[in-house]
Structures are given as structure tokens and as C-alpha cells.
């Protein structure tokens, strides 16, 4: 009934289509404020050192924080690691500026649940035009009339560290802001905080929009309202998150770029940590349960290595 999204519990009234999109003032003002500071302040206070801090800090928070901490660990449990490392990764993920840990898991699972239905609200499938979807996703929330009941697992729900991160997710920028200002002044503050947050949030929406509307596909999830697409040009800058057709096919996999030529910086970092003994029980596509609703699409593109043939698959080679 829950389409394999265990945190989403359905009732007889649960419906993925009926709902109202409403302006979310706190979320919208948070985003628009950082965007305004980034555009105006970024122009007047540009320095190469500030831009370098922007690049480094953005890469760290997106790769270790959003991709490894929030997405692959907290949401999908695709690997295990020491608690201190998990906390550090999730803190970096909170610094991306979209939400705290609970606020990241709930909308992600709601969207995954809805997209596996036969149909769902346009907000949940990026089903409107480019500009309207941008306004919706960046400034609004969806209130379903009959949503599923969201239930976090105990290890996250009652964790005092995650509860604190959730209550203070905006304030967690402050210590880093003070540090950056103390070292590099206003340029480092503008580029290291506001520009980074604005670019990260906007980029997250852009990839979500294209990854659910156009791009390459090797897999089809039968009966699903929404199919994932691989956005090839952004594989590197998204830390592997843009290989979204792969992710729709194997959501529990710690590896997202599962074929040759699919850059996945998140996987490279995770595999390095695995070799150091800091992560373990890493889940890969060939180790996940078979999905009867999943079918392979015949492609006219150059033949790729089969994901179901361990001797020739890229992840088998990387783990030796």
C-alpha cells in the first residue's frame, strides 16, 4: 500500500492528487533573502578568495552533507558509519540551507511515495511549466487533502542531536558566518553563506525539474506516475545526484552513477571512506531485492555494461 516507502502509512482516504499549493512565507523569505544578497552583494564584494571559499564550501556541503549525509545515509540507509561521522555529514547537509533532517526526509519520502502511484499532484511530479514549477518548489508548500501518515523510525525521531538540528537549522549558518567574516570579511560572508545557499537551493530545484521531465533513461518503473531521467551534463557538479533514472530504479543503492562514464563524486568519497574502514554495509544495486515493476529499456546508444552482471559491472570493479 505504501509503495515501498516504509515511513509513509496510508489509510483508505489517502490520495496523492488532491491538494493545494500555498505560499510558504518563512521558506520563501529565507530563499529570496539569500538570493538577493548573493546577486547584489556578490557583485559588489567579489574577490577571488571569496569565490574560492564559495566553491570549496559548496562542494563539501553538497557532497558530504546533502548527498552522503542527508540522502544516501539518513533517507535511504544505503550504508552505515560511526555516529559521529553521520552527525557531521548531516550537519553539513543542514548547512546546504534547505531544511533540517526531519524537514528533508518528510518531503523526500512524500514525493517518492506519490511518484510511484499511478498519478499524483503536479507539485509532486514537477508537472507544470518551468517558471511556475520554480515558484512552487522554491517558495511554496503542498498541502494534500488526504496525505499519508509520516512516521520516522525511532533512531532518528527520538535522537536529541537531530531534534536540535531540526529546531535550529537556519541558525546553524551563524557560527560559520562569524568564522568566515572574521577571516575574510564581508566578501567571504556573502560568498560563503548567501551565495552558497542560494545556488544550492536553486540548483537542487533545477536538477529535480529536469530529472523528472527529460533526459536519458535505461530503466522504466511500470505503473509509476513519474520516471526519473539521467541529466548527463550535471553528473559531476551534483555529486552524482543527477543520475536520477538509476536512482529511481535502485533507490536503496549507495552508488548512483552505476555505468561507465557516469561521474559520481559522492560514490568516490564514500568508497574512499569504505577503504579507510569508516563506512560499511554499503548497498549496491546487485545486492538489493528484485523489483518486479522494474524493466530495462532497450537503448540505441552505445552498449553499456550490464548492471546485473557482476563480473563486468563498474561497481564490482570499484569494490575489489
Q: What is the pLDDT of residue 299?
A: 57
Return the ∠ at Cα 140 (arms to 136 and 141), rounded to 5°: 110
- 3-state DSSP call for residue 215? coil
pLDDT tens, the chain, 320 aa long: 456 788 999 988 999 999 999 999 999 999 999 999 999 999 999 999 999 999 999 999 999 999 999 999 999 999 999 999 999 999 999 999 999 999 999 999 999 999 999 999 999 999 999 999 999 999 999 999 999 999 999 999 999 999 999 999 999 999 999 999 999 999 999 999 999 999 999 999 999 999 999 999 999 999 999 999 999 989 899 999 999 999 999 999 999 999 989 999 999 999 999 999 999 999 999 899 889 999 998 753 433 333 433 333 444 444 43
Per-residue confidence (pLDDT) for residue 315, from 0 to 100: 47
- Given a contact cutoff of 8 angstroms between Cβ atoms, the answer to whether 141 and 147 are in contact is no
The pLDDT value given to residue 143 = 97
Note the pLDDT of residue 3.
Answer: 60
The SS3 call for residue 143 is: strand
Q: Which three cell numbers stand for residue 208?
A: 529535480
Collapsed DSSP state (helix, strand, coil) of residue 142 = strand
From first CA to last CA, the distance across the chain in angstroms is 39
Cell 525511532, residue located: 154
Positive or negative: CA dihedral 196, 199, 202, 205 = negative
Alpha helices per DSSP H over 116-158: 122-125, 130-139, 154-157
Spatial separation of the C-alpha atoms in residues 83 and 217, rounded to whole Å: 36
Which residues are CB-neighbours of 228 under 8 A, at least 6 positions away? 211, 212, 217, 244, 245, 246, 247, 248, 249
Taking the C-alpha atoms of residue 41 and residue 194, their distance in angstroms, rounded to an integer, is 9
Query: In the numeric block, which cell numbers belong to residue 276?
Result: 579507510
Determine how many CB atoms are found less than 10 A away from the CB of residue 313: 22
Place of cell 525521531: 157
State residue 298's pLDDT score.
73
Say how far apart CA 170 and CA 160 lie, in whole Å: 17
Cα 244 from Cα 233, distance rounded (Å): 13
Amino acid at each position: 500500500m505504501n509503495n515501498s516507502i516504509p515511513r509513509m502509512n496510508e489509510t483508505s482516504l489517502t490520495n496523492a492528487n488532491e491538494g493545494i499549493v500555498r505560499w510558504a512565507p518563512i521558506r520563501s523569505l529565507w530563499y529570496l533573502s539569500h538570493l538577493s544578497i548573493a546577486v547584489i552583494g556578490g557583485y559588489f564584494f567579489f574577490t577571488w578568495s571569496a569565490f574560492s571559499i564559495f566553491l570549496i564550501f559548496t562542494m563539501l556541503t553538497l557532497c558530504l552533507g546533502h548527498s552522503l549525509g542527508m540522502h544516501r545515509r539518513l533517507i535511504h540507509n544505503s550504508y552505515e558509519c560511526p555516529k559521529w561521522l553521520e552527525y557531521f555529514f548531516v550537519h553539513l547537509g543542514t548547512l546546504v540551507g534547505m531544511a533540517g533532517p526531519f524537514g528533508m526526509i518528510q518531503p523526500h519520502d512524500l514525493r517518492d511515495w506519490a511518484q510511484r502511484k499511478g498519478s499524483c499532484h503536479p507539485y509532486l511530479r514537477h508537472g507544470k511549466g518551468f517558471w511556475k514549477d520554480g515558484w512552487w518548489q522554491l517558495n511554496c508548500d503542498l498541502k494534500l487533502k488526504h496525505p499519508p501518515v509520516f512516521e520516522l523510525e525511532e533512531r532518528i525521531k527520538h535522537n536529541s542531536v537531530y531534534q536540535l538540528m531540526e529546531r535550529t537549522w537556519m541558525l546553524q549558518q551563524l557560527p560559520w558566518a562569524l568564522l568566515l567574516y572574521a577571516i575574510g570579511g564581508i566578501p567571504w560572508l556573502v560568498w560563503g553563506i548567501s551565495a552558497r545557499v542560494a545556488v544550492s537551493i536553486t540548483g537542487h530545484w533545477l536538477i529535480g525539474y529536469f530529472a523528472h521531465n527529460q533526459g536519458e533513461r535505461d530503466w522504466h518503473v511500470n505503473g509509476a506516475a513519474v520516471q526519473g531521467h539521467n541529466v548527463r551534463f550535471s553528473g559531476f557538479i551534483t555529486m552524482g545526484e543527477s543520475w536520477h533514472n538509476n536512482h529511481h530504479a535502485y533507490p536503496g543503492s549507495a552508488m548512483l552513477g552505476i555505468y561507465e562514464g557516469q561521474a559520481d563524486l559522492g560514490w568516490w568519497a564514500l568508497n574512499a571512506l569504505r577503504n579507510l574502514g569508516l563506512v560499511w554495509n554499503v548497498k549496491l544495486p546487485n545486492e538489493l531485492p528484485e523489483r518486479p515493476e522494474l524493466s530495462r529499456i532497450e537503448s540505441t546508444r552505445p552498449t553499456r555494461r550490464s548492471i546485473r552482471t557482476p563480473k563486468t559491472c563498474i561497481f564490482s570493479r570499484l569494490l575489489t
